[in-house]
Structure 1
Amino acid sequence: MSGLGVLEQVGELARSGQTFALATVVWRQGPSSGKQGSRAIITADGQVRGWIGGACAEPVVIREARQVMADGNARLLLLGTPDQFGAAVPEGMTVVPISCQSEGALEIYIEPVFPVPHLVIVGSSPMSQTLAELARALGWSADLVSGTEFTPGHAAERSMVVVATQGHGDEDMMEHAIAAHPAYLGLVASHRRAEAVLGYLADRGVPKEQLDKVHAPAGLDLGRTSHEEIAVAVLAELVQLRASGAFADLPAQGKNEARTELKFAEAVEALDPVCGMTVTADASARPLTREGVTYYFCCTGCRRTFEENPDAYIKAVLR
């Protein structure tokens, strides 16, 4: 996968609620398998989709991508041999020495991509359309679904759902929405109408703890307002709740916010005893066991060099 295929997956992954990093080769010095403009997606579990370079570059990019996803800060990497660049490194660039036999070098930009908030608006009134437009102006993903088409499948646990069917099947739509267990569920209605809908749902056997989570009426109380102002009030409540941390399972915005909710796959690392490069200690790193100790290598060449004179490299590691 390369080119447009990577960019298409970026959109798909972001809409699906996944956090990942996008790596782009912005400069290369040959010989190098990575080409300028090459891109790859690195997922939270360390999978690489696309191409940014060979065996030397990939483990480094995966490690740095995990850090980018964890702290939310993009970074520019310069990958090459330790003596290749000297003092000619621009400020703000991270130099990562790699000991590839190719003598090539790469400059790679890694940026985090966090899922945008997902809002589902059930209804087709002018207020619903205004709410969708306002949410999209914030960069949110907003789905406008008519009451006749809405099902629990339109929302997920990370979604925010606003039912605004204006009395046309409110009870059924609320029942569908509750079944999706969204992070937020609000009903646009008057206080009297909201009480009637919640009472009906209670009679239908919907558990009280689920009904207690429903925001009914939805939105901040601004008094008597127009349809457009109701949309503003609903969106304001959602923004307020997100800012207060009420939606712990929803993605936070802002690159400096903590990303402790990410659960990364544990990656054990080891040093290549020949070139000193950090590699992932798994089957992909050409493991070789000697006297009960397993060594890992960045490439076949390093492994072969070790096999020819293992004692020399083992002594170097022990020092």
Structure 2
Amino acid sequence: MTADTPPDADETSSDRAAVATDGDLAERERALRDREEPYARATVVRREPPVSANVGDRALVTADGDLHGWVGGAACAQSRVASEARAAISDGEPRLIGLAPDPDDVDRPGLAAFPMLCHSEGTLEIFVEPMIPTTRLLVVGDSPITRSLVRLATELDVEIAVVDPDATTADVPDGTTVLSTLEPDEIADAVGAGPLVVVASMGEYDARGVAAGVLADAPYVGLVASDSRAEEVVERAAALLDRDPDDVREAITNPAGVDISATTGPEIATSLLAELVDVRADTETIVASAGGSSTGSDNGRIGAADAESTSEATDSGVTDEVDDSTSADEQPTDPVCGMTVDPADSASVTHDGTTYYFCCHGCADSFQTDPDEYLTTDEGAMESA
């Protein structure tokens, strides 16, 4: 940036020389994007001397109102640009502002005019553009609710990731990321900080989805579950995270969704999407806020979602790997739900030297939390090699 006019009485050459260079601003902007922090660009698009700012001079303004760059001196432009930039970040709308000795001289449709307070009495017009990180939506589970939610969410400006070990990219809308891992820390790392999270695996791996949302500092973790199952999910997730259940309970929203008396999967998905839009409006300018409400009572929106096994959760290591020494003829029984399972494609937990097999990760997590509750029989056990 160079100046081709003398600075006015309020803006000295030393003021301008002390600001960031274009390279500094580019590096700072990259850092803001990498941290997924909202900010605004401010660019001078018109000037009438005497003013020290030139067309093309620019600055970055953070959500806290810190201004880096040059759009004129503090008394003339910076304070007004900073306040308008914060407003733009808040509402997501760009704006064109004009600063003139008599605001009526520049006032016109599409421009917000303000008085120029510098003694030089020059004129500036500055375009302020908010840069808001794209909202990320993490949907956990494969159910009629999640499938409908993902389809509906593609109409919004969001990045969608789905946790479903059995899905491929061919099973989801274009542009949707499929995560096959069920490890909460791996899910959180893959989706990044501050996503909006909806968990509706119908008990299969709800606790893992909630745990991932907590690890990712999600401002919203919506759990589709009845009151009784939600409490069990909280206990399982707390055990997975080694945290106080009260902390996990405060991080989730249950019942999730706007109360529209929804009963079918698409209706429930619609109620969830409405709540997500509302939450996004409140949180999209916050890098990582803590949100959610405590678990509540079943309001009839989940239908038969609680019909599956829902015991408590966690311990010393769930794995999808199977002991090679296991005989193919043996068919162990899931000690939680009583189902006969195939060790070749079952989740397993090793406890006190014995390996137990489960129909799903939900049952495995339940066993891990309190093995003694389910060890009245050894039908699901196989001795580890």
Name the TM-score, length of structure 2 as normaliser.
0.46
Does the C-alpha gap of structure 1 residues 129 and 42 become closer, same or farther in structure 2, counting only changes over 3 Å?
Answer: farther
Q: What is the CA distance between 1:27 and its match in structure 2?
A: 1.7
Q: C-alpha offsets along residues 86-135 of structure 1, whole Å, 9 cap, x if unaligned?
A: 974435422314356xx975322335555665533334667546534544
**Alignment partner of 2:107: what SS?**
coil
Q: Count how many residue pairs are aligned between Structure 1 and Structure 2.
A: 235
Residue number among 48, 71, 76 corresponding to 2:97 in the alignment: 76
Residue number among 95, 99, 106 corresponding to 2:115 in the alignment: 95
Q: What is the CA distance between 1:138 and its match in structure 2?
A: 4.5
Task: Supply the distance in 2 between the matched residues of 1:42 and 1:68 (Cα, whole angstroms).
Answer: 10
Task: Supply the distance in 2 between the matched residues of 1:195 and 1:17 (Cα, whole angstroms).
Answer: 33
- Name the residue aligned to 1:207: 244
Whichever of the two has the greater Rg, that structure is 2
Indicate if the aligned counterparts of 1:123 and 1:147 stay in contact, CA closer than 8 A. no
Task: Supply the distance in 2 between the matched residues of 1:32 and 1:212 (Cα, whole angstroms).
Answer: 56
Q: C-alpha offsets along residues 231-279 of structure 1, whole Å, 9 cap, x if unaligned?
A: 2121223345678xxx6xx2479xxxxxxx9xxxxxxxxxxxxxxxxxx
Task: Supply the distance in 1 between the matched residues of 2:76 and 2:103 (Cα, whole angstroms).
Answer: 20
Q: What is the CA distance between 1:211 and its match in structure 2?
A: 3.8
Q: C-alpha offsets along residues 143-172 of structure 1, whole Å, 9 cap, x if unaligned?
A: 44525174333354x543222445553333
User: Within 5 Å, which residues of 2 pair with 1:141-290?
Assistant: 142-144=160-162, 146-148=179-181, 150-153=186-189, 154-156=191-193, 158-189=194-225, 194-201=230-237, 206-213=243-250, 214-216=252-254, 218-220=256-258, 222-226=261-265, 228-239=266-277, 250-251=283-284
Indicate if the aligned counterparts of 1:21 and 1:65 stay in contact, CA closer than 8 A. no
**Alignment partner of 1:26: what SS?**
strand
Task: Supply the distance in 1 between the matched residues of 2:268 and 2:104 (Cα, whole angstroms).
Answer: 59
**Superposition CA RMSD, Å:** 4.6
Larger RCO of the pair (alpha carbons < 8 Å, separation 6+): 1
Where in structure 2 are there 5+ consecutive unaligned residues? 1-20, 164-178, 290-385
Q: C-alpha offsets along residues 16-69 of structure 1, whole Å, 9 cap, x if unaligned?
A: 5534332122223468775545543222352325x54xxx44663321123224
**Alignment partner of 1:22: what SS?**
strand
Does the C-alpha gap of structure 1 residues 16 and 119 become closer, same or farther in structure 2, counting only changes over 3 Å?
Answer: farther
Task: Supply the distance in 2 between the matched residues of 1:207 and 1:155 (Cα, whole angstroms).
Answer: 23
Does the C-alpha gap of structure 1 residues 137 and 67 become closer, same or farther in structure 2, counting only changes over 3 Å?
Answer: same
**Letter aligned with residue 264 of structure 2:** T
Does the C-alpha gap of structure 1 residues 19 and 176 become closer, same or farther in structure 2, counting only changes over 3 Å?
Answer: closer
Task: Supply the distance in 2 between the matched residues of 1:31 and 1:60 (Cα, whole angstroms).
Answer: 12
The answer to whether 1:21 aligns with 2:46 is no
Residue number among 114, 119, 123 corresponding to 2:137 in the alignment: 119
Task: Supply the distance in 2 between the matched residues of 1:133 and 1:57 (Cα, whole angstroms).
Answer: 49
Does the C-alpha gap of structure 1 residues 95 and 155 become closer, same or farther in structure 2, counting only changes over 3 Å?
Answer: same
**Alignment partner of 2:116: what SS?**
strand
Does the C-alpha gap of structure 1 residues 170 and 32 become closer, same or farther in structure 2, counting only changes over 3 Å?
Answer: same
Where in structure 1 are there 5+ consecutive unaligned residues? 254-260, 262-319
Does the C-alpha gap of structure 1 residues 17 and 86 become closer, same or farther in structure 2, counting only changes over 3 Å?
Answer: closer
Indicate if the aligned counterparts of 2:75 and 2:117 stay in contact, CA closer than 8 A. no
**Letter aligned with residue 238 of structure 1:** L
**Alignment partner of 1:238: what SS?**
helix
Does the C-alpha gap of structure 1 residues 162 and 60 become closer, same or farther in structure 2, counting only changes over 3 Å?
Answer: farther
Task: Supply the distance in 2 between the matched residues of 1:186 and 1:61 (Cα, whole angstroms).
Answer: 43
**Alignment partner of 1:219: what SS?**
coil
The answer to whether 1:64 aligns with 2:102 is no
Indicate if the aligned counterparts of 1:2 and 1:40 stay in contact, CA closer than 8 A. no
**Alignment partner of 2:256: what SS?**
coil
Name the TM-score, length of structure 1 as normaliser.
0.53
Does the C-alpha gap of structure 1 residues 155 and 229 become closer, same or farther in structure 2, counting only changes over 3 Å?
Answer: farther
Indicate if the aligned counterparts of 1:25 and 1:106 stay in contact, CA closer than 8 A. yes
